[in-house]
Structures are given as structure tokens and as C-alpha cells.
Amino acid sequence: MPAGIPGGRVARGAKLGQFAAGQAVRGVGRRLSMIGRTEEARQVLAERSAMTTAQQIVTVLGSMKGSAMKLGQMASVLDLDFVPESHREHFRAQLAALQDKAPAVAFPTMRAVIEEDLGPLGGVFADFDETAIAAASIGQVHRATLRDGRVVAVKVKYPGVERAVHADIGNLEFLSKMGRSVLPSMADTGVLEEIADNLRSELDYEREARTQHRVARRYRGHPFITVPDAIVEHCSHNVLVTEYVESQPFSHMRTLPDADRDHLGELIYRFYISSLFVDNEFCGDPHPGNMLLAADGKLAFVDFGLYKQMDPAHVDFERDVLRAAAEGRGEDLYTAWVDRGIIDPSAGVSVEESLAYVWAATGWHLLDEDVTITPELATGALLLAVDPRSSQFHGMHRQLLPPEHVFSRRADLFTFATLGQLRATANWHLLAREWLYREPPVTEVGREIDRWRRSG
């Protein structure tokens, strides 16, 4: 294992603990240092403090890779309330580096991983770019050319990252405390087991290759979306080879005109949200680093390590709950949650609180009007719905979400947050009605996709 990636439970837990403790001490120091300073000085100090914190998070989580870095990627789409409002954009930009620009591992080290699995590099590849084009939580990506001339993206697992992730699984109780502001249910044993299973699945590149190949076939010929196919015969436990997509990153998408961003927003919604209710499966890792604007104008989605299939009965339950909320049937919603074991009837949670909670967490699917999703709106909704410090839904925050629903709700919340980064506008309820009520699409994009589906 490279010296830069701490691998043992104690080492990784200690590193995170030292970071958290250091932030607390620095926080006290900042408050004291601002007493008596002019407003201008406070502003400068706040900016430096925010930027220093962001850089420390990128350095610490980026060097650790694995699940600690995944938390950083999740945080990068939010407006974090411990950063001064005037500097949150700078902070988010620093965290966004964890999406696809985390510190890369030197190529000789990664070459050894490739050759251990696939044999000599020249036996498979005619050309291999030694400079990584992306570095994510489990592995980094290189551009290469196969001997048959196909240009490919090669994702290579970091040496020692499996040991690191298994250490994190052992430290899940500690990590759950870090993530509890994102999802309080992470304190539940069943939920922790679900998270552990998903962390293990992200290490399984052969499984990911099979999944990506299946999803790529499903989207082949799609008018607006592309999924690069996996070259399964060249994939192994530590190496994932897929088609290369000539593309622009999410940061470029954010600079496009309103109409283009709205178009992309609808596609993101359909890929991450609609697919659950239409196909009973979804990609559970929506963040900007996994979305690329291909040269042909299609939106490309990558990274299928956290891909979930759900029992249709569980999907129908989620649909029924959202329909009850959309129609104001609070009693039906409350009864469904009690029967499902989500709400303890002795906990003092009211019908009104249950209904208001669903609207706070998922109201963007239910409100029948155009809504522009901003970073502030997305983060505010997420914190209101799941932050245990919030007093508005104190009763609901003590309830536990069943494990089978944890990652669908995570995908929903972080799709919302990603669309906030894009500042996309749509009547999201009209898109939702396609899977809420199985109504025909009303947008031109939806109608064209429907024609494509029917032609297949």
C-alpha cells in the first residue's frame, strides 16, 4: 500500500478524528480572533478560514481515498452551513476537486496494479497515457488505446484501497456520526449493514463492468443519453476498461445558457429519479463528477459501482407514499409508515408532521409549477428534512428508515443537490407524473424518449 493511503482501522479513524478535533479547536480560535476586528478584517479572515478549511478537507479526504473521500464528494454539492455565506461558492469549488481531481497516485504504482491483473501493458494496450484524467474515491482513470484501435478509459483501483475501505466498514459507527447530518438513519444497525454492502460492491470492478455493460445496452441509441460500454473481456478485479467519451465536465455545463442547463437538468432527473420508478433500478451515486457532456451533445453517465435494483414492492411503496403526499392524504401516508415500521405510533409524530416532512424532503416532485433549483434551495431542503439539529421535524428525525429505502432516498436528495449546482428550472412535478400516475410525457424530450422506447 502506498504510504499516502492509511489502511488500518485505527490509523484511518485516528486521522479523521484528528481532523475533526483540529477543526473544533480552530473554530474556537477563529471566534476569538474576530473579537474587536473591523468588518473588513472579519471578512478577509472568514474567507481565508473557509478556504483553508476547504483545502484541508480536500487534502485529508483526498489522500485517504475510499469511503472518507466519498463523504467529501457528497458534501461538495451542498451549501455547508459552517462556511460564511459569502464564501460558500469558493468552499464548494474546493470540495468539488474531490469529484474528479483528487490527488492521483504515481503511474508506476498504478502500472503494477494493471499488469498484475492483465499482464504486460503492451499485450492489451497500443498506447497508454500515464497522466490520470480523473481520480476518484476507489480508483483513478487513464486514457488508453486498445491494440484493436479503440480509445478507452481505464479505471485502476488504488493499491491498498480495499484494506482501507474494509477498515472504514469496521469504523462505520464512527463514519456514521460524520454522515449523520446527511442521513440520520445511518445510526441504525440494518442501515449500516446496507452501507457496508454498498461499500463492498464499489470495490467489485468485475460486477461494475457487468452492470455498466447491461445499462449501456439499455441506453444504446437513446436520443439524449449515453452510457459508455464496458469492455468486459479486459476488466478484472482491479481494472475497469470502458469506452472513452470525448466530453466536457460538469463545470462546463454550469456555464451554458439557461435553456441548455434546463435540458440537461431534465435528463439528469430522468436518469437518476425516473429510472427507479420505471425500471425498478437506479444509480445510487449522483454527483457532478459522474456526468459528462459528450461531444455529440448527449449527456454521458459514468461510474456504476453503486447501482441498485429494488424489489418492485418497495418501489410501489415509495410511489404510494409520494402520491398520498401530493394529494394531501396525510392519514393514508401516516398509516402506511406505521404499517411499514417507519413510524413508531407511540413516538408522538403527528399526521401533519408526517405530511409536512415528505413535502420538505421531496416537495420538488409534488409542486405543480416551475421551480429553479438553486444550491441554497437544495441544501435548505436537505437540512430541513434530515438534519438532526433541526427542531421543525424533531419527531421524524428520531424515526428510522428501512435499509431498502436508504439509497433511493440518498439518490433523490443528491440528485436535487446536483441540479442545484446546475441551477436547472422545470416543472418537476410534470416529469414526476409520468411515474407517479403513469401519465404520458408532456415535454418534447419526454415524448421523443417515449417514441424511442416504443420503437425498440
Higher pLDDT, residue 261 or 177: 261
Instruction: Judge whether residue 174 has pLDDT over 60.
Output: no
Higher pLDDT, residue 1 or 346: 346
Structure confidence at residue 99 (pLDDT): 52
- Band of residue 198 on the pLDDT scale cut at 50, 70, 90: low
Q: Which amino acid is at 285?
A: D
Interval 210-221 mean pLDDT? 96
Q: Residues 88, 80: contact at Cβ < 8 Å? A: yes
Q: State the chain's mean pLDDT as an integer.
A: 77
Determine the Cα–Cα distance for residues 77 and 414; give it in Å rounded to an integer.
8
Residue of 369, 372, 366 whose CA lies nearest to 259: 372
Q: Would you state the cell numbers that stand for residue 437, as one nine-digit string?
A: 400516475
Tell me which residue has cell 404499517: 339
pLDDT tens digits, residue range 347-357? 888 898 888 88
Tell me which residue has cell 464512527: 174
Per residue in 61-81, is it b (16+ CB within 10 Å) or e — as a string? bbbbbbbbbbbbbbbbbbbbe
Interval 329-347 mean pLDDT? 90
Higher pLDDT, residue 431 or 36: 431
Q: Determine which of 112-116, 139-143, 183-187, 252-256 has the lowest per-residue pLDDT on average.
A: 183-187
List, in sequence order, the alpha helices (H) in 204-253. 205-218, 250-253
Instruction: Judge whether residue 252 has pLDDT over 90.
Output: yes
Instruction: Judge whether residue 242 has pLDDT over 60.
Output: yes
Q: Residues 140, 156: contact at Cβ < 8 Å? A: yes
Structure confidence at residue 7 (pLDDT): 52
- Band of residue 250 on the pLDDT scale cut at 50, 70, 90: very high
On the CB side of 321, how many CA atoms lie within 13 Å of its CA?
Answer: 27
Determine the Cα–Cα distance for residues 138 and 203; give it in Å rounded to an integer.
7
Q: How many CB atoms lie within 10 A of CB 327?
A: 12
Q: Residues 333, 366: contact at Cβ < 8 Å? A: no
Which of 5-14, 33-42, 74-83, 137-146 has maximum average pLDDT?
137-146
Model pTM score: 0.75
Instruction: Judge whether residue 344 has pLDDT over 60.
Output: yes
Interval 171-178 mean pLDDT? 55
pLDDT tens digits, residue range 35-92? 333 444 444 444 444 445 445 544 544 444 455 445 555 555 555 554 556 656 666 6
Q: Determine which helix (DSSP H) or strand (DSSP E) holds 127, and give its type and residue range.
A: strand 125-128
Integer CA distances (angstroms), 221 to 2, 378, 453, in order: 42, 32, 10
How many helices (H) and strands (E) the chain has is answered by 21, 13
Structure confidence at residue 3 (pLDDT): 44
Structure confidence at residue 314 (pLDDT): 94
In 237-396, DSSP assigns E strands to 239-243, 247-248, 281-283, 291-294, 299-301, 307-309, 371-372
Q: Residues 144, 128: contact at Cβ < 8 Å? A: yes
Higher pLDDT, residue 70 or 163: 163
Instruction: Judge whether residue 8 has pLDDT over 90.
Output: no
**Per-residue DSSP letter, 442:** -
Structure confidence at residue 385 (pLDDT): 53
Burial class (CB in 10 A: 0-12, 13-18, 19+), 83: buried
- Backbone φ and ψ of 127, nearest 5°: -150, 145
Q: Residues 336, 351: contact at Cβ < 8 Å? A: no
Structure confidence at residue 352 (pLDDT): 87
Residue of 409, 322, 405 whose CA lies nearest to 359: 322
Higher pLDDT, residue 210 or 172: 210
- Band of residue 434 on the pLDDT scale cut at 50, 70, 90: very high
Q: Determine which helix (DSSP H) or strand (DSSP E) holds 357, and give its type and residue range.
A: helix 351-362
